[in-house]
Structure formats: C-alpha cells, structure tokens
Chain A
C-alpha cells in the first residue's frame, strides 16, 4: 500500500479540508437593515449567549470514515510477496542403463546455464539419487516414455516453463515447453535385445562398437538404419555379451519334460522329437501323459461311454485351441469322457440334445493340470497334434514349448530400442516463460466497499427527516 498514489493523496487532502469545513467558525452573514434601533432593543432584551462548543456531528464522523476508507482503498493495500521466481520443470528421460545414467551431468549444466534465474524442479523416473545434488527431484512412476511424459506434464502444469530431455523428438510439443535431446551424440553399441532361437543368438544393438561375445561365434550381421542385428551360434552352455556399459549373460536352459506311463507310443516319441532340441533338460518342467504331477498334461483319463448322437463343443477362447486346425483334431477318438468335476474348467465337452454328457478336456482349478479324456495326440493328425501339444504345454506352464528360449538372459534388464538408439535432434518448443501469476493479494476492494457504505450512511443522515433544519 502506498499513499503516493495520486488518488490516495487527493483523498488524504480531503480529510483536513473536511475537518476544516466542519470546525471552522461559521462566517456570519451580513444582513443590511435600515436601522439597528429595534435590534438593539432585542439584543438588550435577549442577551447574546456564549457560542456553543461546536461538536463533531455523526455526519462528520461518517464522512471522515468514508474519506479515510476511500483513501485506504485508493492507496491499494495488498499483501506483498517476493517477486515470483519462474519455475522450470525439467523432465529427464531414462536411458535404461543399470549403472549411472549417461549424460546427466551434461543435462544439468545445460539447464543451469540456460535457466540460472529460475527455480528448477527435476522429474526423473530413474534412480533419483543420481540427481539429488540438483535440488528438488520429483519421482515419477517408471514406464513407457509417453506415460512418463504424461505424468510430468500433468504434475508440472503450474511451472513457468517445461523442459523435456527425451530420446526422440516429440511430435506435438506442449505449450510453454522446450523439447531437447537427451543425448548430445548418437549412442553407440548399446545392446537392447538378445534372443535365442535354438542354438542361434540374435543380438540387436546400436551402430558401431560391436559387442564382445564369448561362447558364441558370429554368423552374420545386418543393419537397418541405426540398428544392427548380429547373429551368433552358441557353442556351449554359457554365452556372455559385453559392451562398454553392459554385461549380458546367457545360459542354456532346455525345457525339461517328465513322461508318464501313457506317453509311450511312437506318436508320442515323434512329438517329443519335434520339440527338440529344447527337450534335453534334466529337471522336468512339465509332465506328459500323466496328471499325477504338476504341471502336467494327462491323456486317456476318461471313462468310455456311448457317444453316439452327440456333439463336441470347444472353448475357442482358451489358449489350448489357439491357431489350431480344429478339423484335424480328434478329441473323442476312444469314446471316453471325463466326469465334470467341481472347479475344473471344461475346455471341450460332449453334448447330447443340448445336455452335457461329459468333458473331453478340463483344466484344474490352479490351471497347472490339463486332462484329456482321450489321447488326441495319437488320434489327431501329426501337425495338429504337435500344435495341440505346444498349446497344452503353454497352457500349464505359461510358455509354449515353441517359445522357450534355449539361452536365457540373466542379470539386468536391457534398455529399450528407443533408449539404445537415442540420438541428438533439433530442439523444438520455446524457452519463454509463462507470465508469472501476480502473487500480490490486493485488499483494496474491502475499504472501498466500506467507504461506499459510509457514503450511503452519510446520504441517509442528510436525507433523514428533519436533517439540516435549525
């Protein structure tokens, strides 16, 4: 609040003027009379009394209050606050390395140099400890870049400027945002995928700086853009892939299969051979032909019944029948059916006149035992039987035999392709701050409102009956 406001000064001057007008001696009005003869008689008869002490009337008080309040209002009382410091919210995208995040120091320098007068709020989904010395670091839930950026944009809505250090350009940069490349140069040789198909290993990485691979020999390489795919042939049980910042270990883990008494036919052996070379594990990971263990795929578990004039209904939503040529699958070959059991889920049933005669395939409540009433692996065509077995193993173990990787990676997670191939790009957006919110809270309206009420009260006093009469 300052009284140096011209209006406030004027109003402040009005107060002494008002008081002077109220307290000044009333100037006698000069009245010409022909003669004082009679008036002297009057003065003698009714002596002049002492002038009554002039008192401040209520009207004056009300007017003075109105002027004072109006002066206060014009002076603009407000709760002053420090000039708003622009807040710059900085999002740093993770690059998915197990060790220290690369180029964090570079990011910090770029931000602090460009926004030295701003208050920096950092947003990072990685290990916040790496940014602790930067001040305020807000953690956001790790996830895909789009999800992380959405969290950041929502949480930093009040910031003066948002700066995003990202691995790839953002198509539509939000308002008051500056999108900068996360890295100052193309990342090189960062492995982001290692996959095995039998004995063959496929290693995908960034350009240049090929990884060092132990326990496998290079078979070939292909390049697509900045991405390089290298193909290796594993030679032993352990393979090690190393880069400057990564150390990836792979160990051979074949799928172990236990065989029940029912799994003894030639067809059964042929199906096992079709799953080679994944089936050389010593520890059974799945049992075939029996349902005494878990996980297991049992066969010929039903009782023979008359299945004439019946229909077969299968649960097509079940993974058991995924990508399966049902016409080549025979689930009723031996005329057996399973008696429905509580909590077991029927995947294929026999119906007669719309009523269930029995189950042809059922899944245990824990989903780890699959029983067939007959032996569809023998009764069906070979290809269909192989697909059915692959699906059955996948149903009870979670991974189909065909999806089982012989060499499985251990250790830290690999970066994503986006993280591994991060490269500089042209910065987009604007570095201009959002106009800061006025942090000053004005109270001018209250005294002005009270002044108006006092003025109304004064008007009421003037207009009241009998006001102004002698």
Chain B
C-alpha cells in the first residue's frame, strides 16, 4: 500500500528556504520599505498595541503598558502589521482537478512561513494565530487537514468578512471559478483596510481543455454531469468564457486594490513567488 503523499515534505521545505533567500535578495535589490499595493507606511512606524496571545514574541511585550495597566500588550509597528497574514485556502471540491489544492496549500504555507520567519504572525482563516518559526509546523498541520471537500468557498469568505476585526493582510488561494458576486465579501474586507492578495490556481485542463472526443464533464462542485462533444469551436468558446471570467475578477481586483495572480497548478512554487508575487512578499 503506497504511502500517502506528504505535500509538505523535505522537498517542499527546501523550496521554502530557497524562496526565503530569493525574496531576501529581491528585498535587498529593491530597497527597504518598497511600496506595495495600497501601502505607504515605513518599516518601524509604531501603530499601536494589541493584546498578548499565546505564542507571541515576548520581546515585543510593552512592559510600560504592563506596569501601568497590569495587562500584557504587544507593541505593533506598521511593518510588522503587514506580516500578520491571514491565509484562506479554497477547500471546495473544484480545487481537486489538476491538484490545484496542493499548490494552494503549499502557497499558503509559503506565505505563512515567510511571515513567521520575519517575526510576523500567520493565521489560517478560522484557526488560531501563530507566531514564531517554531509554530510553522502547526500551520503545516492545519494545512494538511484542508482537503478539497467543501461545496464552496463562499461561506468561508462570508464568515471571514463578518468577523469584527478584519485581517490586515489576507492571502486567498482559490481557483476563482465562482461567480464574481461571490467575491463581494473580499471587497467588503478591502473596505476595512484589509490588504487582499488573491491567487488563482487553475488546472492545466482548465486552461487548455482537450479538443477531441465525446466527454462527460463531471462537475465536482455541482456533482452533476454535462455531456459534450469537445469540438475545437467549443474549446475556443470555453477559453473565451474563462478569459472573460478572469477579466471580471481582474476588474474586481483593480477596483478593490487587490493583488491578483493567476497560475497553473503545475507551476513551480519558487518561480511563482519570485515572479508573480514578488511585489507582495519581498
């Protein structure tokens, strides 16, 4: 009986280290405080306090506040806040084809790793806030559990948007194959100063469907079938519809100042981050 694949195995960890070094080089070449989408703050701008949570770096406790108020508060700076990322991974069944969910979880893990490595925090939407590199394993454990079994990502978006406190930095990985209206909760979060990075992962057969033969399209999300003769005309029509859909999301991203990246599920993780998402992470 074959061992189940560990999507966060040694190879992946080596990729993360490679990615970290690559991003550090990018940062060095671009200079500190490089402007990112919608950000105009300095690295050490003091932004305020927040209550201590287990796992927080004790070195950042504000002992003065503790002396005066008797409670633990952590000092937050603008730069540091940017590294408090919230990760939302689409776990709908549509993420199964082409192993989209694998790249999605690995990308989320990479973002979380980078945040933790830089003294930030990482939170899997609906999970606990993690801080410190030592907690990366916990993040991985949580990501391992995220199998593509849900009907839709929309409830998760709604739940996230309905939280009293909006995440400061939200990294969403999805295939985007939902109606544009379903992304309205993200727009709402943007209104609440949440920096949204939307990474769309599509399977190769979704980008280039086969052009011959009768096929029985099985919609994993709908759990319905659609018989279709995949003629070149229909494939072209499909690709046009996909392009139109992505343009709709692009327009949505521009309007809400999201960072948007579209990638193939077979893409190399390091290349993906250093090329398409370098501006976000560096």
Binding site for B on A (CB under 8 A): 26-43, 45-46, 48-49, 51, 470
A29 closest partner in B (C-beta):
B215
Residues of A within 8 A of B203 (CB): 34
Q: How many residues on chain B are close to A (CB under 8 Å)?
A: 42
Q: Contacting A46 at CB < 8 Å: which of B178, B226, B237?
A: B237
SS class of chain B's interface: helix, strand, loop or mixed? mixed
Q: List 8 A-B contacts (CB under 8 A).
A: A26-B214, A34-B203, A35-B222, A37-B177, A39-B238, A42-B238, A470-B211, A470-B212
- Secondary structure class of chain A's binding surface, majority of residues: mixed
Tell me the complex Cα distance, A40–B241, Å: 10
Q: What's the least CB distance linking B149 to chain A, in Å?
A: 13
In the complex, identify which listed stretch (B27-35, B67-75, B94-102, B271-279) lies at the interface while the others stay far away.
B94-102
Chain B contacts for A36, CB-based, 8 A: 217, 219, 221-222, 224, 226
Q: Knowing that A34-B95, A35-B219 are A-B contacts, what are 12 other residue pairs whose CB atoms are under 8 Å apart, sorted by A's residue number?
A: A28-B214, A29-B214, A32-B220, A34-B100, A35-B221, A36-B219, A38-B177, A38-B238, A39-B217, A39-B228, A42-B238, A43-B226
Cβ of B175 within 8 Å of any chain A Cβ, yes or no, is: yes
| Nearest-CB residue, chain A, relative to B223 | A36
Q: Is the CB of A34 within 8 A of B215?
A: no
A470–B238 CA distance with the chains assembled, in angstroms: 18
CA distance A265 to B206 in the complex (A): 149
Give A37 to B217 CA distance when docked, in angstroms.
11
For the complex formed, measure the closest distance between the CB of B27 and the CB atoms of chain A, giving whole angstroms: 35
Residues from chain B with a CB closer than 8 A to the CB of A39 are 217, 219, 226, 228, 238
- Selected from A29, A34, A49, A470, the residue in CB contact (under 8 A) with B177 is A34
> Quick check: is B40 within 8 A (CB to CB) of the other chain?
no
Residues of B within 8 Å of A33, CB to CB, are: 94, 97, 205-206, 217-220
- Chain B residue nearest to A469 (CB atoms) is B212
Residues of B within 8 Å of A45, CB to CB, are 237, 241
In the assembled complex, the Cα of A26 lies from the Cα of B213 at a distance in Å of 8
Chain B contacts for A40, CB-based, 8 A: 226
Q: Tell whether, in the assembled complex, residue B221 and residue A31 are in contact, meaning their CB atoms are under 8 Å apart.
A: no
B residues in contact with A28, CB < 8 Å: 213-216, 227
CA of A40 to CA of B245, assembled, Å: 13
Residue B155 at the chain A interface, CB threshold 8 Å: no
Residues of B within 8 A of A32 (CB): 96-97, 218, 220
Query: Which partner residue on chain A sits nearest B90 by CB separation?
Result: A34
- In angstroms, how far is the closest chain B Cβ from the Cβ of A326? 118
B234 pairs with A29, CB closer than 8 A: no
Task: With both chains docked as a complex, state the minimum distance between the C-beta of B183 and any C-beta of chain A, in angstroms.
Answer: 14
B97 and A29 form a contact (CB under 8 A): no
Residue B48 lies at the interface, judged by CB distance under 8 Å to chain A: no
Question: Does any Cβ of A come within 8 Å of B267's Cβ?
Answer: no
A33-B220, A43-B226, A46-B234 as given contacts; A38 in contact with B241, CB under 8 Å: yes
Bound Cα distance from A281 to B238, whole angstroms: 139
On whether the beta carbons of B178 and A31 are closer than 8 Å, the reply is no
Chain B residues within 8 Å of A37, by CB? 177-179, 219
Q: In this assembly, does B93 line the interface, its C-beta being within 8 Å of a C-beta of chain A?
A: yes
Cβ-defined contact, A31 with B211, below 8 A: no
Contact with A along B191-217 (1 / 0, CB 8 A): 000000000000101100111111111
Complex Cα distance, B226 from A376, in Å, reads: 139
- Cβ of A468 to closest chain B Cβ, rounded Å: 10
The contact of B242 among A31, A38, A46, A48, by CB within 8 Å, is A38
* Cβ contacts under 8 Å, B222 to chain A: 35-36
A34 touches B93 (CB 8 A): yes
Cα distance A41–B93 when bound, in Å? 20
Q: Which of B100, B178, B215: most chain A CB closer than 10 A?
A: B215
Given A38-B177, A39-B228, A30 contacting B216 (CB threshold 8 A): yes
**A24 nearest CB across to chain B (Å):** 12
* Interface assignment of B233: CB less than 8 Å from any CB of chain A: yes
Decide yes or no: A42 and B216 within 8 Å by CB, A34-B93, A34-B177, A37-B179 being known contacts. Answer: no
Which of A34, A41, A48 is in CB contact (< 8 Å) with B229? A48
Per the bound structure, the CA–CA distance linking A27 and B213 in Å amounts to 9
Given A28-B214, A34-B95, does the pair A46, B233 have CB atoms closer than 8 Å?
yes
B217–A34 touching, CB < 8 Å? no
CB distance from A31 to the nearest CB of B (A): 5
Contact status A34-B227, CB under 8 Å: no
Contact with A along B63-85 (1 / 0, CB 8 A): 00000000000000000000000
Which residues of A sit under 8 angstroms from B212, Cβ to Cβ?
A: 470
A169 CB to nearest chain B CB (Å): 88
Whether A42 lies near B218 (C-beta < 8 A) is no
Across the interface, which residues of B come within 8 angstroms of A35, CB to CB?
A: 94, 177-178, 219-222
- Which residues of A have CB within 8 Å of B209? 31
Q: Is the CB of B216 within 8 A of A29?
A: yes
| Distance between Cα atoms of A42 and B233 in the complex (Å) | 10
What residues of A have a CB within 8 angstroms of the CB of B93 in the complex?
A: 34
Contact A30 B234 (CB under 8 A): no
Nearest A-chain residue to B235, judged by Cβ: A42
Q: Are A31 and B215 in contact (CB under 8 A)?
A: yes
* Distance of A32 Cα from B212 Cα, bound (Å): 15
Taking the closest CB of chain B, its distance from the CB of A447, in whole angstroms, is 36
